[in-house]
Amino acid sequence: MKTWKKIAIGAGSVVVLAAIAGFAVYQSHKGVVTVQTGKAQRMDLVAVVSASGEIKPKTYVNIGANAFGKITKLYVREGDRVKRGQMLAQLENVQPSADMDATQASLEAARTDAVAAEAALNTSMADLNRAKSDAERSDLDWSRAQGLYKDALISKSDFDMQKAAHQTAVAGLAQAEARVAQAKAQKDSADRRIRQADANLTHANDVLKKTTYQAPFDGVITNLPVREGETVVIGIQNSPGSTLMTLADMSVITAEVKVDETDIINVQMGQLAQVTIDAIPKKTFKAVVTEIGDNAIVRSTGVSTSQQISTSQEAKDFKVVVTLQDRPEDLRPGLSATAKITTATKGNVLTIPIQALTVRRQADLVPKDEKGSVQAAAPQTEASKEKDKQEIQGVFILRNRKAEFVAVDTGIAGTTDIEVIKGLQPGDEIVTGSYKVLRTLRPGSSIKVDNAAPKKEEEETS
């Protein structure tokens, strides 16, 4: 055989072998899914609920107008610190002061009339006592005269005189009793006029007091929207009245935040929190949960669901108040704040990345044969159909370079990891990505691990 024929045969053999090897490699990679993986490992886990809101003092009051009138004097400015009972503002009080003086004079006059009525009653009582004595003496004289006249010891004229004197004494007693009753009625009327005048004085004094405003507690004037000379009005029905100022007790500061309805179940009284304030960057403040709202608040309107007539499927939040334990001195109400509430802490628990969790229906976990058709099974009943629709939470683990779905029970969730209570062992290699792969990955799929892929994608996007 010639040399060139030998070379041709050898070259052909090499090409055939290369084609066979390439085809084998192609077949081995056919259906292989590229994934990123991670390890199930033990670590300390902290569950945190994050919510945004604003800084508010625990105790504050909007001092509104209690009367209609012009502001004649403002004794404070915004930012001033005041003490309990300190004068804050004065409204025009000419008419209330005049009404107060007039009512005071009426009360004094009523008291004078009561003194006079009491004196008249005492005089009437004295006259009544004298009339009673006269009536008793006249009664004795009349009885004696009747006996003497019967025995013919006195004349008819003396008898008639005694009779007339007795009748006069009886009439005088009745008159004295009537004067006493009249004097008592006058005394009672005078007492009632005193009570009426005293009530009018209380009313006038209340109206006059409403023209002056004093601090109900120690605090800081955080808002002063009015000026001297302005006229303020009280609220009527659905129309709010004028607000003179806002007084806040800055000794106890809170952050009022809104927690999503899916997280509120984990928030409890007394839990610790970390508060950050936008105006004070790079600093956190320790806090504790002191109040949890009972009614949901519609996120789009800020209205409580208890105040809505119709139901709504919009996103809802719950108000949570955390009290700062180490407040800064220059903190002001209304500053934006974020609270990270620690809802649970566990040490040395088995964890996996949160993104590794996926959900599959029972029917999706049925193995397939090489042709991709579901293996033959007995006819399904209604119960089995419902079971096939059940969703199972789990992860895909790597075993012999294939994906195997394992159902897991989870516990608390941290920022990036979640606790696994049942289903995995430390060191198990699990599929963590990509998200697209996890959505479509099926049990038994061949797996190729490429943990460098996410890093390369990050470099390309950057």
CATH of the domain at 366: 2.40.420.20
Query: Is 135 contained in some domain?
Result: yes
Interatomic CA distance for residues 248 and 55, integer angstroms: 12
- In terms of DSSP bridges, do strands 446-449 and 32-39 run parallel, antiparallel, or are they unpaired? parallel
Beta strand ranges found along 65-157 (DSSP E): 69-74, 81-82, 87-91
- pLDDT number for residue 462: 43
Beta strand ranges found along 329-408 (DSSP E): 336-353, 358-361, 391-399, 402-407
Q: Do residues 333 and 354 both lie within one domain? A: no
Q: What is the pTM assigned to this prediction? A: 0.63
Q: Do residues 457 and 389 both lie within one domain? A: yes
Query: Is 153 contained in some domain?
Result: yes
Interatomic CA distance for residues 22 and 28, integer angstroms: 10
Question: Looking up tokens 């956190």, which residue turns up?
Answer: 284
**Before 106, cis peptide (omega within 30)?**
no
- pLDDT number for residue 388: 64
How far CA 125 is from CA of 161, 180, 440, in Å, comes to 28, 6, 111
What is the domain-level CATH number for residue 294? 2.40.30.170
Tens digit of each residue's pLDDT, the chain (462 residues):
556 555 666 666 655 555 554 444 443 445 688 888 999 999 999 999 999 999 999 899 999 998 889 999 999 999 899 999 999 999 999 999 999 999 999 999 999 999 998 998 898 889 888 888 888 888 888 888 888 878 778 888 888 888 888 888 888 888 888 988 998 999 999 999 999 999 999 999 999 999 999 999 999 999 999 999 999 998 877 778 899 999 999 888 999 999 999 889 999 999 999 999 999 888 999 999 999 998 888 887 877 777 666 666 778 899 999 999 987 877 888 899 999 999 999 999 999 999 999 988 877 776 554 444 444 445 556 666 666 678 889 999 998 888 899 999 999 888 889 999 998 999 999 999 888 888 888 888 888 888 874 554 444 444
What pLDDT, in 10s, does the model give residues 208-266?
Answer: 999 999 999 999 999 999 999 999 998 877 778 899 999 999 888 999 999 999 889 99
Q: Do residues 102 and 182 both lie within one domain? A: yes
Q: Do residues 283 and 189 both lie within one domain? A: no
The values of phi and psi at residue 83, to 5°, are -105, 160
Query: Is 418 contained in some domain?
Result: yes
Query: Is 273 contained in some domain?
Result: yes
Interatomic CA distance for residues 402 and 446, integer angstroms: 5
Query: Which tokens in the block code for residue 5?
Result: 């024929």
List, in sequence order, every residue forming a beta bridge with 246; answer none if it has no partner. Answer: 62, 223
Domain count for the chain: 3
Query: Is 237 contained in some domain?
Result: no
Query: Is 432 contained in some domain?
Result: yes
- pLDDT number for residue 371: 41
Query: Which of 334, 336, 337 minimizes the C-alpha distance to 246?
Result: 334
Query: Is 226 contained in some domain?
Result: no
Question: Looking up tokens 């460098």, which residue turns up?
Answer: 452
- pLDDT number for residue 10: 60
Query: Which of 12, 35, 13 minimizes the C-alpha distance to 353?
Result: 35
Q: What angle do CA 376, 382, 384 make, to 5 degrees?
A: 50
Domain containing 133: what range?
Answer: 95-209
Interatomic CA distance for residues 75 and 80, integer angstroms: 10
Q: Do residues 319 and 405 both lie within one domain? A: no
How far CA 346 is from CA of 44, 262, 270, in Å, comes to 6, 21, 17
Question: Looking up tokens 């195997």, which residue turns up?
Answer: 404
Q: Do residues 364 and 342 both lie within one domain? A: no
- pLDDT number for residue 446: 87
What pLDDT, in 10s, does the model give residues 51-68?
Answer: 999 999 989 999 999 888
Query: Is 231 contained in some domain?
Result: no
